[in-house]
Amino acid sequence: MANIAVVGTQWGDEGKGKIVDLYTEKSDIVARFQGGNNAGHTLVIKGKKTILHLIPSGILHDNKICIIGNGVVFDPAVFLQEIEELQEGNLLPPNTKLFISEKAHLIMPYHRSIDQARESRTAGKKIGTTGRGIGPAYEDKVARIGIRVGDLYEEDLFREKLRHNLEEKNFLLTNFFKEKSLDEKEITDQYLDYAQKIKSYVTDTSLILDHEIKQGKKVLFEGAQGSHLDIDHGTYPYVTSSNTVSANASCGSGIGPNIINKVVGICKAYTTRVGEGPFPTELKDDIGNHMQQVGQEFGATTGRKRRCGWLDMVLVRQSVRVSGINMLAITKLDVLTGLEKVKICVGYKSANGNFTHAAPASIKALSECQPVYEEFDGWKNDIRYAREMSELPANTRKFLKRLEELAEAKIILVSVGPGREETIVLEDPFLNK
Ligand code: IMP
């Protein structure tokens, strides 16, 4: 039995939620290793729409262990609200356990204030963040002034760290950003209250993972966002502030890289992006509107309309390389149904006219790249009923075959609709190491 990491191959929103949910059923443990409540995963359970931003969706399955790893930035207010919603909806199964790493860094109110103030100030140069304080929380972690979940239980240390931070942040907020200062007592009381409420979940999650893995339990490492939002490998600076690639599954959860046997990349049959930044295959026409409308492409965290465009295999191939993806799950293929022609971007023509297979690191150079497409005949038949590859129209299979060739990774699942059953399963990634 294998342990797997699931990561996005594009700019996030690849439809990981459904696939993670399907794979959760086969796993014993689901671990999140990076990001925070900038992620969003919409689930419809018992007819009610629930959006989980922080808690792994494994929480909805019985007999699982869900882990919020050390690499996550943790907002206790969001966590408690999600727990409350799950309790109110009677959605928490009896035997599932949830743990938070004591080493995860806390998102503090000043992180949100700075994130939002910076975004509103840099008109024209926005990143388009989710405004949840993610970037500033990671900044403090690296600057070695962050406050960790475990610090909440050493009250003197917590108070001292908060005071030290607020001195600096309030100076920045009031003098530079011309925003309101934040109140030390209010934050102290609030966070010490959170500390008691989350106490039963907080522990050394690396030890739990190690123990369970030694018992032969199967782990699903759930990545948030996508490879091209990675702080190192993405379209910097239009990225998130963590490493979203599979290697961080190890670092962000406290296990060795050799524990992860397979990496499944989630690839949407077209491309979307929220926020700012270059997007070579973006379509600002009827086809882009078709993808946005039919695919219901709205950000789960901010509700923003997602920008849409053709499948860009330059991006996907790079993700396969940097994340060591050996298997691909293709999502939202049904959204392309009805289009006369469908296109795949196989390379870029750069400003000097040269053809390239690799995305340039320079944002300026990438913005000037023109996509080079291969065009395919579309398909009209509804594919949502297909459960075997042979039930797909010949044109759909041609599209998938070319995608697979270009990616140099095997397709093991094709999602043909939002429902769990609307899926063609070719291989179980948990089988065979
Ligand atoms: P931040 O993560 O809030 O700092 O936002 C940085 C960039 O990442 C922005 O372009 C966001 O729109 C994008 N982003 C963050 N989380 C997600 C996600 O879960 N899906 C898609 N884009 C995201």
DSSP secondary structure letter of residue 304? P
Q: What is the pLDDT of residues 237-280, one digit of tens each?
A: 999 999 999 999 999 999 999 999 999 999 999 999 998 999 99
Share of the chain above pLDDT 90, in %: 91
Q: What was the pLDDT predicted at 267?
A: 98
- 10, 115, 229, 233, best to mutate for ligand 1 pocket (most atoms within 8 Å of CB): 229
Looking at residue 23, its amino acid is Y
User: What is the atom index within ligand 1 of the atom nearest the CA of 302?
Assistant: 12
Angle at 259 between CA 142 and CA 245, to 5 degrees: 45
Q: Which atom of ligand 1 is nearest to the CA of 8?
A: 20
What does the pLDDT average to over 380-407? 98
Cα of 220 from ligand 1 centre, angstroms: 22
- Selection from 400, 234, 277 nearest residue 329 by Cα: 400
User: In the predicted model, is pLDDT for residue 223 greater than 70?
Assistant: yes
Q: What is the pLDDT of residues 96-113, one digit of tens each?
A: 999 999 999 999 999 999
Residue minimizing CA distance to atom 19 of ligand 1? 39
Residue-level pLDDT at 49: 74
Residue 371 has pLDDT above 80, yes or no: yes
Mean pLDDT computed over 110-119: 96
Q: What is the pLDDT of residue 6?
A: 97
Measured CA to CA, the distance from residue 45 to residue 421 in angstroms comes to 15
Q: What are phi and psi of 42, to 5 degrees?
A: -90, 125
- 124 pLDDT band, cuts 50/70/90, is low
User: Could you report the per-residue pLDDT of 305-322, keeping only the tens digit for each?
Assistant: 999 999 999 999 999 999
Residue 385 has pLDDT above 80, yes or no: yes
Distance (angstroms) between ligand 1 centre and the Cα of 296 equals 18
Binding pocket residue ranges, ligand 1, CB within 6 Å: 11-13, 38-40, 127-130, 132, 134-135, 224-225, 229, 238, 240-241, 274-275
pLDDT greater than 70 at residue 123: no
**For residue 240, how far is its CA from the centre of ligand 1 (angstroms)?**
6
User: Does the structure show a pLDDT above 90 at 47?
Assistant: no
Does this model's pTM top 0.75? My answer is: yes
User: How close is the Cα of 225 to the center of ligand 1, in Å?
Assistant: 7
Closest residue (by CA) to atom 21 of ligand 1? 12
Mutate to test the pocket of ligand 1, among 73, 225, 307, 308 (most ligand atoms within 8 A of CB): 225
Q: How far is the CA of 332 from the centre of ligand 1 (A)?
A: 20
Nearest CA to ligand 1 atom 15: 38
Given a cut of 80, whether residue 45 has pLDDT beyond it is: no
| Sequential DSSP letters for 96-153 | -EEEEETTSEEP-HHHHHHHHHHHHHSTTS-----SSSHHHHHHHHHTT---BGGGGG
List all residues 6 or more positions away from 132 whose beta carbon is below 8 Å from its beta carbon.
36, 37, 38, 75, 107, 112, 115, 301
Chain segment 26-37, per-residue pLDDT in tens: 999 999 999 999
Atom number of ligand 1 nearest to Cα 229? 8
Distance 128 CA to ligand 1 centre (A): 8
Could you give all domains of the chain from N- to C-terminal order, each with its CATH number? 4-98+204-425 (3.40.440.10), 105-200 (1.10.300.10)
pLDDT for position 263: 98
Residues 175-189 as b/e (b if ≥16 CB within 10 A, e otherwise) read eeeebeebeeeebbe
pLDDT number for residue 81: 96
Of 240, 243, 302, the residue with max ligand 1 atoms within 8 A of its CB, to mutate for a pocket test, comes to 240
Q: Across all residues in the chain, what is the average pLDDT?
A: 95
For atom 10 of ligand 1, the residue with the nearest CA is: 275
- What pLDDT score does 338 carry? 97
Ligand 1 atom 5 nearest Cα: 129
For the record, the structure tokens of 138 come out as 């990671």
Tell me how far the alpha carbon of residue 120 lies from the centroid of ligand 1, in angstroms: 16
Question: CA 245, 246, 252: angle at the middle one, nearest 5?
Answer: 95
pLDDT higher than 70, residue 422: yes
Catalytic residues: 13, 41
Q: Which atom of ligand 1 lies at the shortest distance from residue 130's CA?
A: 3
Ligand 1 nearest atom to the CA of residue 115, by list position? 4
Question: Does residue 212 have a pLDDT over 90?
Answer: yes
Q: Does residue 51 surpass a pLDDT of 90?
A: no
